[in-house]
């Protein structure tokens, strides 16, 4: 099987760290670069976290600092109640070694894509600001990217409609203008929304087992996610938590774990529905409207959650495929 060449655009972030670990340990992944974006914490904090994770996971890839705020307006306060003050569940972090790439994130994306046209999958699990900036600076990258896989949005399958408002998911809500640009660009996008990420849950038992059998990596997952577990327990009465960002990696590696639908996608950019993602399915006809002329993109609607959980566990045990 050919390698999956990946740029990881991220706001680490507890579940971002877990997704990066999956990328780091999967034998079929060739990680080319990490780009950071504000979101789960401020940009300096998520960039520091990315450098820390690169060191911890023994990765040799550039890390470039990205956008500090959305295309329009200001960033809201970071969700410390979900990811902790340090963005990584308040686990102790040693002083950071290593330096950021001198380029801004969107420039690193452009340079990597130009250097390997047609080969790279961008996995974006934060606000899509860096991707929108890359498209503005080099619109021709749309023809040079193999696929963009986005964790974000919500389309109402299994009644999953939003996690920061009744209709909006955090990554889209945090920069709805950027998301609307990325989904409207003429490159292949697959969205891995709450519809499937909230159907995939790591239970307390699953995490305890991982800590037991998967060495340092398993213990890291248990430790970094304790804060996240507590947030899910208090906010949703859950035993465990939703698997958001690792689901985007799982799709990139194993699209057959997911059922999908295609159509043009718009994002509501203001008003009470700001951040809502709305698909006009290719299978339906409507009178002329704001979806016309937009490319058909793909959304995940169903997931084999057991297969995703098994992939994560197997990969940390050194048996990923």
Active site amino acids: 11, 244
16 binds Ca ion (CB under 5 A): yes
In the list 64, 105, 125, 303, the residue contacting Ca ion (rule: CB under 5 A) is 125
Q: Toward ligand BDR, which CB reaches closer, 151 or 207?
A: 151
Q: How far apart are CA 11 and CA 212, in angstroms?
A: 28
Please name the residue that has the structure tokens 């934060």: 126
Q: How many CA atoms lie within 13 A of 236 on its CB side?
A: 13
**Is there binding between residue 40 and ligand BDR (CB under 6 A)?**
yes
Q: CA–CA separation, 164 vs 1, rounded Å?
A: 39
Among 22, 161, 169, 190, binds ligand BDR (CB under 6 A): 169
Contact yes or no for 134/165 (Cβ under 8 A) = no
Tell me which of Ca ion, ligand BDR, none is bound by residue 170, counting a contact when its beta carbon lies within the kind-specific cut-off of 5 to 8 angstroms. Answer: ligand BDR
* In the complex, least distance from residue 36 CB atom to Ca ion, rounded to whole angstroms: 11
Interface stretch with ligand BDR, choices 9-17, 105-113, 226-234, 290-298 (CB under 6 A): 9-17
Q: Which does 130 bind (CB under 5 to 8 A by kind): ligand BDR, Ca ion, none?
A: none
Confirm or reject binding of residue 175 to ligand BDR (CB under 6 A).
no
Report the residue number, 40 or 304, with the smaller CB distance to Ca ion. 40
- Does residue 170 bind ligand BDR (CB under 6 A)? yes
238 to 257, contacts with ligand BDR by CB under 6 A? 244-245
User: Minimal CA–CA distance to 83: which of 173, 19, 14?
Assistant: 14
- Closest CB to Ca ion among residues 13, 104: 13
53 touching ligand BDR, by CB under 6 A: no
Nearer to ligand BDR, 129 or 171 (CB): 171
Question: Measured from the CB of residue 38, what is the shortest distance to ligand BDR in angstroms?
Answer: 12
Would you put residue 263 in left (φ > 0), alpha (ψ -120 to 50) or beta? left
174 binds Ca ion (CB under 5 A): no
| 169/195 with CB nearer ligand BDR | 169
Of 9 and 217, nearer to Ca ion (C-beta) is 9
Q: Of 51-59, 117-125, 153-161, 209-217, which segment contacts Ca ion by CB under 5 A? A: 117-125
| Distant-in-sequence contacts of 52-58, Cβ < 8 A, 24+ apart | 52/88, 52/93, 52/94, 52/96, 53/12, 53/17, 53/20, 53/21, 54/98, 55/96, 55/97, 55/98, 56/220, 57/20, 57/21, 57/24, 57/25, 58/24
Beta-bridge mates of residue 6: 31, 121
Q: How many residues bind ligand BDR (CB under 6 A)?
A: 14
The two tokens of residue 181 are 């640009």
- Gyration radius of the chain over CA positions: 18
Identify what 9 binds: ligand BDR, Ca ion, none; CB under 5 to 8 Å per kind.
Answer: none
Task: Note whether 125 binds ligand BDR by CB under 6 A.
Answer: yes
CB 120, CB 108: distance < 8 Å: no
What is d(CA 230, CA 220) in angstroms, rounded to the nearest whole number?
Answer: 16
Cβ atoms of 35 and 9 closer than 8 Å: yes
Distance CA 55, CA 287 (A): 53
Residue from 13, 84, 176, 263 that binds ligand BDR (CB under 6 A)? 13
**Rule CB under 5 A: which residues touch Ca ion?**
11, 13, 16, 125-126, 245
Point out which residues bind ligand BDR (CB under 6 A): 13, 15-16, 40, 82, 125-126, 151, 163, 169-171, 244-245
């Amino acid at each position: 099987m050919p390698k999956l060449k990946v740029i990881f655009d991220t706001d680490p972030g507890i579940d971002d760290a877990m997704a990066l670990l999956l990328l780091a340990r999967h034998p079929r992944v060739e990680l080319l670069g990490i780009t950071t974006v504000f979101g789960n914490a401020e940009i300096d904090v998520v960039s520091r976290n990315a450098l820390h994770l690169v060191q911890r996971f023994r990765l040799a890839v550039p890390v470039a600092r990205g956008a500090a705020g959305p295309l329009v307006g200001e960033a809201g306060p970071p969700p410390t109640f979900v990811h902790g003050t340090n963005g990584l569940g308040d686990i102790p972090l040693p002083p950071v070694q290593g330096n950021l790439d001198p380029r801004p994130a969107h420039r690193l994306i452009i340079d990597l894509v130009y250097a390997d046209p047609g080969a790279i999958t961008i996995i974006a699990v934060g606000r899509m600001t860096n991707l929108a900036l890359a498209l503005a600076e080099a619109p021709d990258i749309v023809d040079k990217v193999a696929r963009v896989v986005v964790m974000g949005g919500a389309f109402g399958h299994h009644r999953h409609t939003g996690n920061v408002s009744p209709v909006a998911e955090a990554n889209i809500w945090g920069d709805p203008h950027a998301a609307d640009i990325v989904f409207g660009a003429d490159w292949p996008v697959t969205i891995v929304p709450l519809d499937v990420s909230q159907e995939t849950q790591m239970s307390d038992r699953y995490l305890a087992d991982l800590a037991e059998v998967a060495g340092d990596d398993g213990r890291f997952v248990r430790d970094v996610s304790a804060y996240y577990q507590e947030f899910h327990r208090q906010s949703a009465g859950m035993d465990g938590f939703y698997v958001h960002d690792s689901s985007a990696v799982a799709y990139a590696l194993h699209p057959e774990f997911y059922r999908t639908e295609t159509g043009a996608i718009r994002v509501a950019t203001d008003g009470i529905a700001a951040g809502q993602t709305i698909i006009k399915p290719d299978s339906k006809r409507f009178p002329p409207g704001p979806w016309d002329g937009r490319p058909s993109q793909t959304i995940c609607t169903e997931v084999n959650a057991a297969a995703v959980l098994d992939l994560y566990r197997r990969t940390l045990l050194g048996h990923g495929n």
